[in-house]
Every structure is written in C-alpha cells, then in structure tokens.
Structure 1
Amino acid sequence: MFKKLMNKIMMGMMDNMMDHMMNRMMQEPYTENLFSFITIMKKLSPKAIIEAGMRAESGKPIERPLGSPNVQSEWQKLFLNPVHLFKLPTQDGVQIQTKTTIGPQAENPLKLELPILLAGMSYGGALSLNAKVALARASAMAGTATNSGEAPLIDEEREEADYFIGQYNRGGWMNQPEQLSRLDAIEIQLGQGAQAAAPMGMSPTQIGEDLRQAKDLEPGEKAVIHTRLSEMKQPSDFFEIVQQLRDEYGVPVGLKFCATHYLEQELEIAVKAGVDYVVIDGAEAGTHGGPTTLQDDVGLPTLYALSRAVKFLEEKGVKDRVSVIASGGLTTPGHFLKALALGADAVYIGSIALMALLQTQMSKALPQEPPPQIPLYLGKFKEDLDVEEAAEHLAKFLKSCLEEMKLTAYSLGKTDLAQLNRKDLVSVDQELAKVLGVDYAGYPQLGADPVSESNINFMEKENEEPQPTTH
C-alpha cells in the first residue's frame, strides 16, 4: 500500500514537472526558453562550449590530451581485396613473414620482427618514467622498437628496450655523442602532427629533480622546445646534420615532421640530404596535451599525406632506399595493413598503445579523473601504474594485431606483409580512389583481362603454392 502511494506521489510530481517544462518550451520566447540550449548546441558543439569556458577561465592556450577528434583520414572507405580462384589464398601452414627493415642502405639497418613501432612519447614532456619503462619493456617482448620522443636518454628505458630510436630534438636533450652512440636509429625531430613546429615548454615548477638532472637544467630553468634545431640557420644546414650523423654513428638517420601541403618540397630536401627514412606524422597524431588549434587545424590527414609521400619517393626512384613510417591516428590492424598497402614500411602507434598499456588499470583513475592521469608525467596517479602488468598487456596487444594481420595476409594470397601494395586495396569513394591511385569499388578492376582457357594454365603456374613451413 505504501509503495503504491509513493509511486502515485512520484508520478504526480514528475507529471507536474513535465507539464511545466513543456508549457515553458511551447509558450516562452526563444530568448527565455530552455530549449534554446538545444539550438545553441546545434550551432556550437559541446566541445566548443566547454573549450570556450576553459579559455575564459585561464586566458591561456588550452591543451587537450591524446590529440584531435577531427579525424579526416577515411580509412573506413578502403577495403582489402581477398582472392579465391583468380589467385589462390595462401595455403594454411605457410608461415607469413612480418619482418621489416628501416633504412636498408644504412651501415647498420634497423631490422624488426614486425612493422608496428611505438611512437615518440617523451619522458617528462609527456609520460612518467613508469610509463616509459613499460613501453620499452613491451617493445622488447614483441620484437619491435620504442622511441624516446623529445627527451634525453634515460638509462632505465634504454636498458629495457632491445631496439631504441632516439630523437635528435629541438630541445637539445638527445643531441650529445654519448647518447647518440647508444641508439639503433636517430630520428631528427623537426615537428609533429599534433604540434607542428610550435615552441613548447615546461615551467620549473612542473619539473621534478630527476627530470631536471636528465635534461641538465639549472634550478629554476625552464625546459624549452624551440621551433628549430639550434644549428638550423637555413635549410642547407640540414644536409650537414644528416651527413654527420650518418658518418659518425652508422645507424639509420630519419626525419620526422608534421605532414604538410608542402610535403613534396620538404621531402625533396630530405632526400637530397640522404635520410634513410621519413616519418609522415599526420594531423590525427596524438600528444600529451598540445594546443587545440595545432591539433585541429594544422597539417594534413595521415592517409593523404602517406599516399603523397610514397608517390613522390617512387617518382624520384628512391623508395627502395628511403623507408616510410606512417604515423598519426592509426589504431587498428586494418589501419596498419592499409598503410602498408599504400607503401609504408612500418607504422607508429601512440595513443592506442597507451590505451592497451593501461587496459584495466584505467580504473585506478576513473571515475574521479580521466585515464591520462595515470601515464602522464604530471598525472595524479602516475605512481600507481603497474609496470609489469602494463608491459604485458601492450605486448599482447601487439601480438593480437600481428596475428590478425597475418590471417588477412592468407586471404590476400600473400606470404609476406611487405608484399602488400595498392592493388590489394579498393575504395568505395570514387574521388578517394582517384587520389590514392587505387581501384574504385563500383567498376571492374582497372586493366584486368577476362579469364579464358588460354590463360588459366598460366595462372596455374603463377599460383604454384609455396611449401608449408613450420611455425
């Protein structure tokens, strides 16, 4: 009886409230109407409203973690082409090769077990020491490389990694011989997709004693990332930097830069300077907390930038010696395969690697704080990260991705991920197909001859199966 009475009272209250709200929305002018907030949010997104409030509060540039939500790379409009009779799928039992080589013409090329690398995320500027150690340990467990980001060489991180790429950076923290001599590849960092070449810095109050010593900063000194390398007074200076690094250390020397509509002009100089690889870092790239305008409105989407870069290198006849690493917003095995098919030799992953690394450890911050508070250097829960568990989860993520890529390779009739090319792709968007140089799904394959009795015998010879090998 009491329950029914309470239900009746509650329903009556709700009915009165709904009637009142409905009457207000139907009768009041827009300037006084609560419904106006719906139309406001149609014009001004919730993101724009909240970020406007943040700007109004601080009066400073606002920084958003993990990059831009403005994703314009249309990977979902690309599909891979399986085979059945025209060409037989790869026989099960045949081992799919997954290795990749970065900088094949360097004195000591970087040879990895898989084409998925961990992107540059710096100690201090982005991540905590625990997070960096976990990334390095996971890379070793998976047989791939990790990257220093714009940071000094940290012994704990270097000792965990089998393959370590260090960034010759605009802060100057990895640019000394004793550090460069311990690297497996040197990446000249002139910019990145989420921040371009804007100057960045950390105030002295944000810098702990360990980080201050690692960066060789005086007490009270700010950590600054400049727009240029200190020795870059003019573009021609880049030639000397590349040549000196290649001659002295013998490892692949690469260039990382923010993908830009000036892509071909930038690559022209890089190729002439003799770089062994280029990192095409698209506008969807992640960051610890870069300014929103640089994230949302600067650069080129990764998909278009990658396609243009590969075509340029092919036209110059140097694609066989200059490796390409695609970076920025790549999150799934499907993305990785499509990037390889467009000509990338490997991919960098960052934001999605952090999500895999955190896995259920996100609950240590949620619901009071967002997950980035766990791996970030300035995060409130950085000391709570379980390094061993994090490394194991990320290594399993990489293994899972690789296994799916291998299964897909069987269906494409491939025995090596390096065999993927544009012919393995088709687009459901006609304009995108034209831009990327792949077939459009609405028409038959370009240049494909009809199958006839006269060429079936030829196909049979072409499709002779490789003998299964032991895994």
Structure 2
Amino acid sequence: MLNWALLKLLDPFSDDIVKKMFTEDFPDNPYVMVTASQKLTPKAIVEAMLRAESGKVLKLPYGSPVVLSPWNKILLSPKQLFQLPTPSTSNVDSATIIGPNAKKPLKLDIPIMITGMSYGGSLSLKMKMALAKGAAMVGTSTNTGESAVTHEVRDNAKYLIGQYNRGGLQTSPELLGQLDAIEVQLGQGAWGGAVESTMESENIGTHLRKIWHIKDGQDCTIYSRMPGVTSTQDIIDLVNNLKEQYDVPVGIKIAGTDYIEYELEVIAKTNADYIVVDGSEGGTAVAPPTLEDNVGLPTLHSLVRTINWLEENNERDRFSVIAAGGLTTPGHFLKAIALGADAVYIGSIAVFAAIQCEAIKTLPEAPPTQLSLYIGKYTDRLNVDKAARNLANFLKSCLEEMKLAVQAVGKYSIKELSKEDLVTVDKELAEFMGIRYAVKPRREHVLS
C-alpha cells in the first residue's frame, strides 16, 4: 500500500519532468545538467559551487581521484612446471626491516605500515588510537603524522614512528625519545610537496592545544620550510644531528616530483636510514584540490626513479625505501615491493577499513569522514576496539593474499620479489621500469 501511494504521488512529478525533458529546448531543459556534467565533470561543478559560497581554499579529504600510476598494467609472473611453486604459504616470510644499519632497527612482521596522519590536523584521537591498536595486533607500525606523541597513541602502538615536522610540534627530546623511528617530514604527495597550512585557533580543542603547547587563541601553522632551516645544508645538518642523538632509524619523507633525482642527491649527503617517497595520489584530510590533482609525480614513477637513482649511484644498500601514495590493494603492495620498496605506507584505505560497519553510525545523515576526522561531528561514536579489530583483519587479509601470490611466483619471502617477477604488455612501461615486455618470448632459460 505504501509503495502504491508513493508511486501515485511521484507519478505527476515524473510526468512533468519527462515532458519538459522531451519538449523544451536545452536552455530550459533539465537534461542540460547532464550534458554540463559530462563536459565540466560533477567534481568541477561541485568545487565551483563551494568556491562561490566561501571564497576560500577548499579542503578535500582522502586525496585526488586522478590516478596516473598504471599498476593495473603490471602483472606478477607465476611458475608451475620448470620451477615449482612454494610448497606452502606457511613457508612465506613477511618480515621487513626499516633502517637495518641503525643501532636499533625497526623490525616489522609485515611490510604494510600506517602512514602519517596527524591527530588534530587530520584525524580524531579515537581514530589514531584505533589505528595504533590495529597495527600493533599484526606487528606493524603507525605514525604520528604532523602532530606530536600522545600517551593515548603511544600506549596502543607497538611501533610508533614520529614525524619531525614543519610545524615544530615534535622536536623536543622528551617526544623524540618515545619513538621507534624518527621521520623528517619535508614534503607530502597530496600537498604537491611542501606548502604552508594553518589550523585556526577556534578548531583546536583543549586536549590538542595542550599536546601542541600552544596558547588559547593561537593558530597552528605547518610551514613550507622546517623552522630554522634556510638552506639545503641546514637540512643535511638537521638529519645528521638527529642521527647522532638517537639510536632509532631516522628517515626523510619527500613528495614525488620530476626533480626527484636532485632531491635524492641531497638525501645521499645525509646519514639518514630510510626514504619515504610519497606520490601525488596520496591522501590527506585537508589539501586543496588544485594541489591534489595537478602537482607532483605519480607514485609508481616516483618509486621507480628513486630505486633507479639509488642503484645507479651505489646508494641502495644505505637506505630503506618506503613507497606511499594511493596504494590500496595487496596487488599494489606486492608490485611496489617487487619494484624495490622495502615496505609500503597506507592511509586512506586503512581509515576506511577501520570504519567498516561503524559507518552506519553516520550514514545516510553524514559521510563516514565525520567519524574519523578531527573536525568530524560524530567522532565520539567511533568504537576504538572495533575499529582496531577491523584494521587488523584488513591487514591480515591483505597479507594472506600477498603470500598466495608469492607462493605462485615460487619465492619464500615477500622481500625476495624483484623486477624479474614482473611483466607488462605495455612496451613504454616495460622500457621505463626495466621489466619484461610480454610480447617477446623468454629465451634465456634452458631445461637441464
């Protein structure tokens, strides 16, 4: 009866729409919004309306929809007869080490790490706690992002990486001494590198203000340069000073860019233990769409060029490499590792995995972002234990599928994957990446 009544109410309305669409010229035809969307794209129209409303810089969570890394054109090559598959996935090792040359290397059970997403500038405290707890369940690390250590996150994390950031929020020996690795954050893929970003005082709560050591009414700014740094040599000295003071691995995070070889030349002058290369497809909580969509270098290209430069300059053994930016599936993770990464960072997909069915607490009234972002309206509704378990399950699922792929390739460790295990049907991609072009037959193997 209810369906019948609704149909009766909607019938006159739909009749009017259909008649208008099929009889009126386009300027007064509702279908013109369809053609406009096809030409301008719905995203551009919505952004235009939001800009017209506020006159301010937009803040787009989760990163750009522009994905230029052709991961789907790369495949792993299994072996079946001339070389047998690995007997069992239980024989496949998933451990990795970040900064093996450091006095206290970061030893992880899996090569998937939670990337830097800050408490305050990005996520709520509850979500940070959930990510830390979920990562700990599977023996991997989480990251403070451009914030500071909180006891809530430190207590839930097994391994905590902290960013020595451009806001100066985590530079004291007290905070740095609590970390399992120190990451000097000099750029971010979703921000197109390093630009300033200010969080207005009215959006900074009491707890966060205490953590950041800022006064009431004071804004908090992440600067384009590290405070006190005025030259490239200052960056080198900063990293080397941290290495002298702390036994844990010290890394440098940069955004992928066409100048990446120049950036690596500078990094090679430091005593850093690891490099995070963050492609333009990376996510964030608040970056402007212009930077997300139009600035930087895709993740795959950034990673390949990084590994190539390190190998060509005999620097590969000095640095662990972490690939970041838009990596979301076990396939992405495997291919990044085969291309030379020691581990991968994940962010947005980890948040979505953690939310899982928690999302019903906001939908359809509000998007799930309101559960996880610091400025979210429903952050109090997030169940930390459930979110942590969801994340742990996601990571376990990814790992088991990765082990199956490694078994098919005939390897005994995820870190044994290399370019030799990859193939593509794209000739230009094969030449760029230095992997097999599938059109050409293999001729090097001779049966014994």
Regarding TM over 0.5, the answer is yes
Residue number in structure 1 paired with 2:444? 449
Residue number in structure 2 paired with 1:140? 136
Residue number in structure 2 paired with 1:466? none
Aligned residues with identical type, % of pairs: 49
CA RMSD of aligned residues (A): 2.0
Deviation at 1:166, TM superposition (A): 0.4
From 84, 87, 100, the counterpart of 1:88: 84
Q: 1:133–1:160: 8 Å Cα contact kept in structure 2? A: yes
Residue number in structure 2 paired with 1:47? 43
Write the letter of the residue equivalent to 1:171.
G
Distance 1:218 1:96, change over 3 A: same
Q: Secondary structure in 2 aligned to 1:254?
A: strand
1:1-150, aligned counterparts within 5 Å? Answer: 18-24=18-24, 28=25, 30-92=26-88, 95-150=91-146
Residue number in structure 1 paired with 2:269? 272
Q: 2:362–2:368: 8 Å Cα contact kept in structure 1? A: yes
Q: Unmatched 5+ residue regions in structure 1? A: 457-471
From 288, 293, 296, the counterpart of 1:299: 296
Write the letter of the residue equivalent to 1:153.
V
From 414, 429, 432, the counterpart of 2:429: 432
Q: Secondary structure in 1 aligned to 2:296?
A: coil
Q: Secondary structure in 2 aligned to 1:393?
A: helix
Asked if 1:227 corresponds to 2:209, the answer is: no
Distance 1:166 1:14, change over 3 A: closer
Distance 1:17 1:415, change over 3 A: closer
Q: Unmatched 5+ residue regions in structure 2? A: none
Superimposed CA distance per residue, residues 68-97 of structure 1 (whole angstroms, 9 cap, x where no aligned partner): 001111111111100012221111265111
Residue number in structure 2 paired with 1:154? 150
Q: 2:112–2:345: 8 Å Cα contact kept in structure 1? A: yes
Deviation at 1:242, TM superposition (A): 1.2
C-alpha distance in 1, partners of 2:324/2:71?
13
Deviation at 1:21, TM superposition (A): 3.1
From 233, 250, 255, the counterpart of 1:253: 250
From 317, 320, 324, the counterpart of 1:323: 320
From 208, 228, 238, the counterpart of 1:211: 208
Deviation at 1:106, TM superposition (A): 1.0
- The structure with the largest alpha-carbon Rg is 1
Asked if 1:170 corresponds to 2:199, the answer is: no
Superimposed CA distance per residue, residues 11-50 of structure 1 (whole angstroms, 9 cap, x where no aligned partner): 79866763453122xxx3x444444333322220011011
Deviation at 1:321, TM superposition (A): 2.1
Write the letter of the residue equivalent to 2:77.
N
C-alpha distance in 2, partners of 1:56/1:236?
43
Q: 2:89–2:407: 8 Å Cα contact kept in structure 1? A: no
Superimposed CA distance per residue, residues 205-241 of structure 1 (whole angstroms, 9 cap, x where no aligned partner): 0000111111000111101101111121100111211
Q: 2:275–2:321: 8 Å Cα contact kept in structure 1? A: yes
Distance 1:247 1:368, change over 3 A: same
C-alpha distance in 2, partners of 1:69/1:283?
10
Q: 2:21–2:29: 8 Å Cα contact kept in structure 1? A: no
Q: 1:94–1:415: 8 Å Cα contact kept in structure 2? A: no
Superimposed CA distance per residue, residues 141-190 of structure 1 (whole angstroms, 9 cap, x where no aligned partner): 11001000000110110111111100000111111111111111100001
Superimposed CA distance per residue, residues 46-75 of structure 1 (whole angstroms, 9 cap, x where no aligned partner): 110110000000000111111100111111
Superimposed CA distance per residue, residues 418-450 of structure 1 (whole angstroms, 9 cap, x where no aligned partner): 1000011111211111111111122223xx325
C-alpha distance in 1, partners of 2:216/2:236?
35
Q: 2:111–2:343: 8 Å Cα contact kept in structure 1? A: yes
Distance 1:311 1:93, change over 3 A: closer
From 352, 357, 360, the counterpart of 1:355: 352
